Amino acid sequence: MIKLKIACKVFRNQIKKKKGNLKCHGVLSRRRKVIQLVQNPFLHFRTLIHTYFTNTRTTDPIHHYHNPNTMPTLSETYACVPTTERGRGILISGDPKTNNFLYCTARSVVIRNLDNPLKVSVYGEHAYPVTVARYSPNGEWIASADVSGTIRIWGTHNDYVLKNEFRVLSGRIDDLQWSADGMRIVACGDGKGKSFVRAFMWDSGSTVGDFDGHSRRVLSCAFKPTRPFRIVTCGEDFLANFYEGPPFKFNMSIRDHSNFVNCVRYSPDGSKFITVSSDRKGIVYEGKTGAKLAELPSGDGHKGSIYAASWSPDSKQVVTVSADKTAKIWDILEDGSAKLNKTLSFTETGGVEDMLVGCLWQNAHLLTVSLGGTINLYDAKDLDKSPLSLSGHMKNVTVLNLLHRSEKMLLSSSYDGVIIRWIPGVGYSGKFESKQFGLIKLLAAGEEEIITAGFDNKVSRVPLHGDDFGPAKQVDIGSQPKDVSLAVKIPELALIAVESGVVLLKDSTILSTVNLGFVVTACAISPDGSEAIVGGQDGKLHIYSVSGNTLTEKSVLEKHRGAISVIRYSPDVTMFASADLNREAVVWDHESKEVKLNNMLFHTARINCLSWSPDSRLIATGSLDTCVIIYEIGKPAASRRTIKGAHLGGVYGLTFVDNDRVASSGEDGCIRMWTLTSE
């Protein structure tokens, strides 16, 4: 009855605060069915009561009925990078009012600040991969589009409140632009028949013109920022089409290119627009009539496909980026003729990843984006100055490790074989393209060496030489690795779990391969290498003593009701923790093998990772349910601290940086640092 009264009180407070708009905490709108909750307050109340008593995953306010001074707070975000595709340009957009810019990756829109790259916000409400996002002219709204042809219009403040959602095209949307008055939006991309472009009113979705003239996918569009309004589109049919309006109607086709026309952009003053193409040409046109003015000089031009262009705020310069790995700044004269001002090139890997596929001129900053996702940030007033490089992951970050050097360093790895160094408080510190050992599924790091495993039945041991890797030593273990663990005090000793047993590895030599007679899913080796714990598909923990190349079973622990997913020793080795696919974690006393902390059943999906604090007082678990939960040893599990929605798609990596900070990573490609305040 007391719980019911509390729930009623919270519900009444919601009604007063939100005035009927019950999309609390900005996460409920992630599921379309929640629209019903917004329209039916009684249904919302029933859901709130149900989730309070059943403890299921939700974003209900009761969960946050704790003392806010004890809840973890987000202190830093190391952002993922834009999703890129070879042979295609990408689009990034700047905030007209601030130094924020945004780009798209997977199902998220990432908003970053040029002055403080660690200031990151992520919008993750799309159901499909997002392709483009643009700020409205007043900076109050963002329109973002995805591969399903849907455009969502949402606010830039607080909880990113959804204004409208429209199904604009039947296929992928590649570009969109706002009109200067913020009343109309034009979008282009792929569609059925000849429906490749559509312009509509931002508030009602009403169509404001017909866009004939294209026969193939339309890659880019531009809205003239001054009256009289014009729209220009371009695409894979080698055409740039010119439309007058509103209501918009076809005026003419421009046939000056001989390959895909990848990008079209109007100058901020509306006097000109430029098209760039895979035929290596850039052409400047008159903004009102579409008449051709001049081409970018071919002698100083790009040697590869040009993917994107962006004008300077004063409309006197334009930057173009190309597959030739260069960015060129052109001075544009009044008559439209161009003169090369500067060529920028920045080599990171020396490979195709250095191809430039995107650019943005944002106030006094100039940005370029490479195929590998690296964002190079230049000072537009001093282009000779070395750029600031911002990089990160494109794929699911599956592993986080902390190296205790003179300066603490995080190592993160993703499935695509990228390992990145991060310095807490600073951010991106370097990128390893791990071609020598392919895709990465598992990674364990010591102070002087890392060990990785992929999908080819091989394990790679790679020495760390300062901030770089040495040559990898590969060991074929004959089976697909399931888990890997290093003995911290004897880092040359490693335990590899395979489906039928374990492999004991010393340096690059296999000491023994042990068939254990059950399906193995996880393993851990003690810091001194004298003991190993192996978890099975049956939920049992098998504890072995390790002597030389021999494993001798000492005991079997039964508590879990699902396959073991992760095992970790505490730093002081007085405890160890295990978690399973049935959402339960257990802390065990190392000496007695008794349960030290149980009833850790607050996740609603499988647990992917766990980590101990350096003082062995706290333990954090991360789950597919997007949550991180922190427990304190010696206190009941019910006194947990929960970070809800830590990572879109699930949490896959966790590590404590110190006793008061924990870092997490997930399917969204981001790494977040959480500060834990003492209770």
Mean pLDDT of 110-124: 94
Residue 526 has pLDDT above 70, yes or no: yes
| Cβ-contact 623, 606 below 8 angstroms | yes
pTM of the model: 0.86
The rounded percent of the chain whose pLDDT value lies above 90 is 80
In whole angstroms, give the CA distance from residue 184 to residue 176: 10
At residue 422, the pLDDT reads: 95
Which secondary structure element, helix H or strand E, spans residue 34, and what is its range? none
> Which has the minimum average pLDDT: 168-172, 192-196, 549-553?
192-196
Q: Which residue has the tokens 């949550």?
A: 627
Q: Do residues 136 and 182 lie in contact, with contact meaning Cβ atoms separated by under 8 Å? A: yes
Burial annotation 34-66 (CB, 10 A radius, 16+ → b, else e): beebbeeeeebbebbbebbeeeebbbbbbeeee
CATH architecture designation of domain 82-390: 7 Propeller (2.130)
Q: For residue 35, report the phi and psi dihedrals to the nearest 5 degrees.
A: -55, -35
Supply the pLDDT for residue 12. Answer: 52
DSSP classification of residue 62: G
Helix (H, G, I), strand (E, B) or coil at 268: coil
In this predicted structure, the answer to whether residue 460 has a pLDDT above a threshold of 70 is yes
What is the pLDDT at residue 66? 44
Residue 30 confidence (pLDDT) above 80 = no
Rounded distance between C-alpha atoms, residue 355 and residue 372, angstroms: 8
Whether the per-residue pLDDT at 34 is higher than 50: the answer is: no
Provide the H-helix boundaries in 40-104: 41-54
**In contact, 260 and 219? CB cutoff 8 Å:** yes
Instruction: Report the side by side order of strands in the sheet with 240-244.
Output: 218-223, 230-235, 240-244, 249-254
d(CA 460, CA 450): 8
Decide if pLDDT at 267 tops 90: yes
| Calpha distance 309→357 (Å, rounded) | 10
Q: Return the pLDDT at 677.
A: 79
Residue 678 is predicted with a pLDDT of 62
Q: What pLDDT does 61 receive?
A: 29
CB-CB neighbours of 448 under 10 Å: 12
Q: Which residues pair with 365 in a beta bridge?
A: 362, 379
**Paired tokens of 457:** 């039945």
**What pLDDT, on the 0 to 100 scale, is given for residue 18?**
41
Is the confidence at residue 8, as pLDDT, over 70? no
If one compares 26 and 621, the residue with the highest pLDDT of the two is 621
**Three-state DSSP class for 384?**
coil
By the 8 A CB rule, do 539 and 563 touch? Answer: yes
Domain range annotation of the chain: 2-65, 82-390, 441-675
Whether the per-residue pLDDT at 348 is higher than 90: the answer is: no
- Reported as a single tens digit per residue, the pLDDT across 577-589 is 999 999 999 999 9
Residue 566 has pLDDT above 80, yes or no: yes
Q: Is the pLDDT of residue 295 over 80?
A: yes
Distance between CA 621 and CA 585 in Å, rounded?
8
Q: What is the pLDDT of residue 434?
A: 55
Contact between 70 and 679 (Cβ < 8 Å): yes
Beta bridge partners of residue 113, listed in sequence order: 100
Q: What is the DSSP letter of 248?
A: B
Which residues, 6+ apart, have CB-to-CB distance to 606 below 8 Å? 562, 565, 580, 581, 582, 583, 623, 624
What's the rounded Cα separation, in Å, for the pair 97 and 605? 41
pLDDT of residue 415: 86
468: confidence class by pLDDT, cuts 50, 70, 90: confident
Q: Select the more confidently predicted residue: 350 or 460.
A: 460
Least confident of 7-21, 113-127, 648-662: 7-21
Q: What is the mean pLDDT of residues 84-109?
A: 95
Write down the CATH number for the domain with range 441-675.
Answer: 2.130.10.10
Confidence of residue 404 (pLDDT cuts 50, 70, 90): confident
> Residue written as tokens 């963002």?
142
Q: 205 near 164, Cβ under 8 Å?
A: yes
pLDDT at residue 40 is higher than 60 = no
CA distance 407 to 580: 34
Identify whether the C-beta of residue 65 lies closer than 8 Å to the C-beta of residue 52: no
pLDDT reported for residue 560: 98
Res. 13 pLDDT band, cuts 50 70 90: low
More confident residue, 26 or 402: 402
Percent of the chain residues past pLDDT 70, beyond the cut: 88
Average pLDDT, the chain: 89
Model confidence at 60, in pLDDT bands (50, 70, 90)?
very low
Residue with tokens 């790259």: 117
Banded pLDDT at 28 (limits 50, 70, 90): very low
Instruction: Judge whether residue 32 has pLDDT over 80.
Output: no
C-beta of residue 241 within 8 angstroms of C-beta of residue 253: yes
Domain pair 82-390 / 441-675, same fold:
yes
